[in-house]
Structure 1
Amino acid sequence: MTFIVGLTGGIGCGKSTVGQQFADLGVDVIDTDTIAHALTQAHGSAILEIASAFGERYINQHGALDRERMRELVFTDANAKAKLEAILHPLIYQAVIAAIASADDAAYILLVVPLLIESKRYLDIVQRVLVVDCDEQQQINRAMARSGLTEQAVQRIMQNQATRQQRLQHADDVILNTSSLDFVQQRVMELHKTYLTQAQILPATH
């Protein structure tokens, strides 16, 4: 089975940037956020079930999930959050397993999971955990700049994620994303070479 590296990090830490850098090196990248967006876009596999569970008001005029309205709901209603996760999480996991199976000739796979540390099912299928790390104020500033979210909204998201300390405790490797993009790229190159070697000498056991 293919060697799988799990990539995670809190909101604003730079997971997407790092994931793209690995992709640019030819690595097969599977991103659960990308899968979730596909499932909830117009005609996505989760739309009918979401509309049935929450009502048509949570589907926008294009037939996709109204993300802003749903975000407001799940931030304030734990039951709604659990209901949405019960719809999406199994579909995302199925898509991940299918993508892994179709990439069986890859040198290794980078599996990007924002809530990797919180999810045993994903921890069980990766051989290494790579954490993109930065301090919490940088997370807040970057997430606000990127997504247009308020500081309060970003902090609410962070409260629903593992802490920085918890992520680092699970990390086999860390990319410290606090300075230049060149530094991050250099670290990605180093890890890419390491993973290519590990994929050859450490067969997957899961």
Structure 2
Amino acid sequence: MFLVGLTGGIATGKSTVSTMIQEMGIPVVDADLIARQIVEPGRKAWKMIQAAFGDEVFLDSGDIDREKLGKIVFSDKEKRRTINKITHPEIYGEIRRQVFHYFLKGEQFVVLDLPLLFESNKVASYLYKTIVVSCEDEIQLDRLMARKQFSEKEAIARIEAQMPLEKKCSMANIIIENSGSLGDTRKQVEDIIRLLRSSRHHIYNRVVYGGGLTIFLCLLSFLIYSLFFT
């Protein structure tokens, strides 16, 4: 199995592309979904956020008020670092568990949907290919304002809080241009998935890592036998 990273800027259409990939039968590990799950009421990250930010960032239901917390962390770099320190270990731990699950299922490849793929730089070295979803600056701004009902100033602040889209594109192996129609985007996605499916990189990984795992298990079995049966 090999891993493919998917990322983009806020409101560039990464989630749309992720959905298209899943519709083609490719497993996607969604970091945004995991990020929502790990802060459900009562969980470890939820408790740490409460301790760090207080009750004002919670709704009466106990759920995190994402809009309020978002405004706080996107306007303060130190608080953004704090929230990242709380959530990232939990998120990447769950990502590892899901990837291992798909490995055991014998999947050819898995797509990791990671908004902060290049910013965190935690998994880039493990990826076979990286895909960035991009679009024109004006379209990105308009989409974000329409989607979140942000003012232009708020939308620009959210965009500027991320790594510049141009830099992400320069670091990617594959770029999906999502300024046009959904049909245009789907055609690009289909071409990319066809290319990835034609790869034999998963065979190399299974030989290298599968062989290593086999050797480890053999050595472990030998050690157990030596300790208890000799």
Q: Which stretch shifts more, 4-13 or 45-54?
A: 45-54
Secondary structure of the corresponding residue to residue 199 of structure 2: helix
Per-residue CA deviation, residues 13-34 of structure 1 (Å, 9 max, x unaligned), is 1000000000001110011111
2: CA distance, partners of 1:203 / 1:144: 45
Instruction: Tell me if the contact between 2:109 and 2:202 (Cα under 8 Å) persists in the aligned partners.
Output: no
User: Relative to structure 1, is the Cα distance of residues 44 and 140 closer, same or farther in structure 2, using a 3 angstrom cutoff?
Assistant: farther
1:88 aligns to what? 87
2: CA distance, partners of 1:122 / 1:21: 23
Opposite residue 199 of structure 2, the aligned amino acid is Q
1:181 aligns to what? 182
Residues 1-206 of structure 1: pairs in structure 2 closer than 5 A: 2-104=1-103, 105-200=106-201, 203-204=204-205
User: Relative to structure 1, is the Cα distance of residues 199 and 138 closer, same or farther in structure 2, using a 3 angstrom cutoff?
Assistant: farther
C-alpha deviation, 1:149, in angstroms: 2.1
Opposite residue 15 of structure 1, the aligned amino acid is K
Opposite residue 6 of structure 1, the aligned amino acid is G
Secondary structure of the corresponding residue to residue 131 of structure 1: strand
Greater share of residues in helix: 2
User: Relative to structure 1, is the Cα distance of residues 66 and 197 closer, same or farther in structure 2, using a 3 angstrom cutoff?
Assistant: same
C-alpha deviation, 1:168, in angstroms: 1.4
User: Relative to structure 1, is the Cα distance of residues 62 and 198 closer, same or farther in structure 2, using a 3 angstrom cutoff?
Assistant: same
1: CA distance, partners of 2:83 / 2:30: 19
- Give the TM-score normalised by structure 2: 0.83
Per-residue CA deviation, residues 47-77 of structure 1 (Å, 9 max, x unaligned), is 1111122212222111111111211211332
1: CA distance, partners of 2:76 / 2:182: 38
Instruction: Tell me if the contact between 2:74 and 2:161 (Cα under 8 Å) persists in the aligned partners.
Output: no
Instruction: Tell me if the contact between 1:9 and 1:167 (Cα under 8 Å) persists in the aligned partners.
Output: yes
Opposite residue 175 of structure 1, the aligned amino acid is I
2: CA distance, partners of 1:112 / 1:53: 27
**Tell me, which stretches of 5 or more residues in structure 1 are unaligned?**
none
In angstroms, what is the RMSD of aligned CA positions? Answer: 1.8
Secondary structure of the corresponding residue to residue 47 of structure 1: helix
Question: Among the aligned pairs, what percent are the same residue?
Answer: 28
Instruction: Tell me if the contact between 1:44 and 1:64 (Cα under 8 Å) persists in the aligned partners.
Output: no
**Tell me, which stretches of 5 or more residues in structure 2 are unaligned?**
210-230
Opposite residue 102 of structure 2, the aligned amino acid is A
2: CA distance, partners of 1:166 / 1:70: 27
Opposite residue 65 of structure 2, the aligned amino acid is D
- Give the TM-score normalised by structure 1: 0.92
How many equivalent pairs are there? 205
Opposite residue 187 of structure 1, the aligned amino acid is Q
C-alpha deviation, 1:90, in angstroms: 0.8
Q: Which stretch shifts more, 111-120 or 74-83?
A: 74-83
2: CA distance, partners of 1:127 / 1:194: 13
Instruction: Tell me if the contact between 1:7 and 1:131 (Cα under 8 Å) persists in the aligned partners.
Output: yes
